[in-house]
Amino acid sequence: MVAIKTRFDGKKIVVPADFRGAPAGDVIVIFQDLSPEQVERQLWLKAQETAFAKVWENDEDEIYDSL
């Protein structure tokens, strides 16, 4: 199973060039419909996640990885 990001042009799903010619098989399509507010919220959450990871990944806190 492989997950790829594609685009729907209003009529068909556009597959990236490097996946064209792939063997036939079942496909699962998930449409993501986000409002501008939801997109902004996701961007802020991702920024916070990155900042938190920088603070949390240190030698002193490594002890909690084994709990």
13-62 tens-digit pLDDT: 888 888 888 888 888 888 777 788 888 888 898 888 888 877 777 777 77
| Residue 1 placed within a domain | no
| Residue 27 placed within a domain | yes
Q: Which amino acid is located at 21 in the chain? A: G
Report pLDDT for 23: 86
Tell me which residue range forms the domain holding 20: 7-66
| Burial category of 15 from C-beta neighbours within 10 Å (exposed 0-12, middle 13-18, buried 19 and up) | middle
Q: Between vectors from CA 7 to CA 11 and to CA 21, what angle results, nearest 5°?
A: 90
Residues whose CB falls within 8 Å of the CB of residue 6, separated by 6 or more in sequence, listed in order: 13, 14, 15, 16
Cβ atoms within 10 Å, residue 29: 7
What domain count does the chain have?
1
CB 22 within 8 A of CB 11: no
| Residue 2 placed within a domain | no
Quick one: pLDDT band at residue 7, thresholds 50, 70, 90? confident
